[in-house]
Amino acid sequence: MENHRKSKIKKLRKSGFRARARTTKGKKLQNRRRRVGRSITCC
């Protein structure tokens, strides 16, 4: 039996970068994540 394939486009439209950029709370979240920076996993 085949598994249900979730649409990547639908997922991104709902919770992607551009979707977050449209809302005030989303912008705040993005800025917060930018301040924290990316964690680098080494070794």
Taking the complete model, does pTM exceed 0.75, yes or no? no
Q: Is 20 exposed, middle or buried (0-12, 13-18, 19+ CB in 10 A)?
A: middle
| Whole-number pLDDT of residue 4 | 85
d(CA 3, CA 1): 7
Q: How confident is the model at residue 2 (pLDDT cuts 50, 70, 90)?
A: confident
> Percentage of the chain surpassing pLDDT 70?
95
d(CA 6, CA 10): 8
